Amino acid sequence: MHILITGGAGFIGSNLALYHLKKGDKVHILDNLSTGRLSNLEECEKYNNFYFNEVDVLIDEELDKRVNWADRIYHLAAVVGVFRVLEKPISVLSTNIAGCERVLRAVLRSDWKAKVVIASTSEVYGNRKSNQLLSEDMELYISPGINSRWNYSISKLADEAYGLSYVREHDLDITLIRFFNVIGPNQTGKYGMVVPRFVQQAINNEELTVFGDGTQIRAFMDVRDTVIYLDDIGSNPATKGEVINVGSNYEITINNVAKHVKSLANSNSEIKYISYDDAYGEEFEEIYFRKPDLRKLKKFSSHQIKWSFDDTLRDLIRRAKEK
């Protein structure tokens, strides 16, 4: 099978590429390396059936040829990470929306219509006031005001609308994935991701910086389980035109994440609380509850999660200490 991954030098894309390479698939990654890293692809480069182009999907002159080669496309290219989203609000909209639409246009023009899996986000659910399960058929809303963090969810909602519209109007085989909190190897804390930031701080015995009061609830899942779900979804014809949550039902507060990391790393770090204004340099609206309804995911995949949260933390701590 020929697999094309846009934005594939990020941590999800690189783990997804390695998973497919181990299956014997041919994998082609496109990434402009704005947030992705070549070092993430070192294991992939050991395979003869791996190809990489440093190129921006917005201006790639050979995108049609690459899309026509693919049997399956994972569209992951996007501006991601809270720091980047706040810093580049216009790029978030232009890159995330126009990039997705350009890929879909290329698929429509192609002779061989690939299966397309488009990455969306749990942020489209907005700021819920209770810890309810977030299901794909819920009404979605964006909080009022000019807070630029919502540009990310707006852009992903637009991607979802594009994807579903191409299914309805052109009968393309497209599935939308709403990622919840994915963690694992190759993830960096540079752009605001909490777990790799805590891990690095803990092994250096630095203060673990918790933004806000730490009572935010998240459901984390290891990327090595995530990529199996993605393959199952991409392989199942019944997922055409579906929006599917991909995440874990294991929930934990950010306060307890910090305590777990500190304990497992045998760290002397203190936990320090930082206001959102100081952390992000502007007013910031936090999402306090984010837990997925996974009934639809289980309908399309029989995979059982193999990586517990603590096992993932142990692995990430070990990897960080070996660097």
Q: Are 28 and 70 in contact (CB under 8 A)?
A: yes
Q: How confident is the model at residue 40 (pLDDT cuts 50, 70, 90)?
A: very high
C-beta of residue 220 within 8 angstroms of C-beta of residue 252: yes
pTM over 0.85: yes
Nearest CA among 71, 58, 81, 59 for reference residue 5: 71
From 125, 152, 162, 166, active-site residue: 152
**Which of 95-104, 110-119, 142-151 is predicted with the least confidence, judged by mean pLDDT?**
142-151
Within 8 A by CB and 6+ apart from 97, the residues are 155, 158, 159, 162
Tell me the domains of the chain and their CATH numbers. 2-182+223-246+293-302 (3.40.50.720)
DSSP-assigned beta bridge partners for residue 289? 217
3 state SS for 61-118: CCHHHHHHHCCEEEECCCCCCHHHHHHCHHHHHHHHHHHHHHHHHHHHHCCCCCEEEE
Asked if 152 is an active-site residue, the reply is yes
- pLDDT tens column, 174-214: 999 999 999 999 998 776 789 999 999 999 999 999 998 99
Kindly report, residue by residue over 257-316, the tens digit of the pLDDT.
999 999 999 999 999 999 877 777 666 667 778 889 999 999 999 999 999 999 999 999
**Strand duo 26-31 + 50-54: pairing:** parallel
Instruction: Give per-residue pLDDT as tens, 215-257.
Output: 988 999 999 999 999 999 999 999 999 999 999 998 999 999 9
DSSP state of 282: S
* Residues 226 and 307: beta-carbon distance below 8 Å: no
